[in-house]
């Protein structure tokens, strides 16, 4: 009977150790995802500001304004795709 109890205790100890390791891995992964998310948000804010400045500088040249507007739209679409990918990863 004693050996059964010791075996169960060892089994539970191993399970607890595995859970602890998995928790640490999850915490590390969550930290990295949070860092990614912060970087993503900063890149998007910078990109938005850049397009706004470009559009304000080139508003007199219609063709250039159209090019920048198209690029801004493409940037927005890429932003949305990367946002969904980040949410899926999280």
User: Whole-model pTM?
Assistant: 0.62
Residues 6 or more apart whose Cβ sits within 8 Å of residue 86: 33, 36, 37, 40
Name the nearest CA neighbour of 89 among 25, 36, 42. Answer: 36
Strands, E, within the chain: which ranges?
none
**CB count in 10 Å sphere of residue 54:** 17
Asked whether the beta carbons of 33 and 89 are under 8 A apart, the reply is yes
For every one of its 90 residues, what pLDDT tens digit does the chain have, with 9 covering 90 and above? 688 889 999 999 999 999 999 999 999 999 998 998 898 889 888 888 887 887 777 767 778 878 878 888 888 888 888 888 888 877
């Amino acid at each position: 009977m004693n050996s059964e109890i010791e075996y169960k205790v060892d089994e539970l100890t191993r399970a607890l150790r595995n859970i602890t390791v998995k928790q640490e891995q999850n915490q590390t992964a969550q930290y990295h995802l949070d860092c990614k998310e912060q970087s993503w948000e900063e890149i998007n804010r910078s990109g938005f500001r850049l397009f706004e400045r470009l559009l304000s500088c080139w508003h007199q040249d219609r063709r250039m304004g159209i090019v920048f507007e198209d690029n801004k739209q493409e940037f927005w679409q890429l932003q949305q795709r990367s946002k969904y990918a980040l949410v899926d990863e999280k």
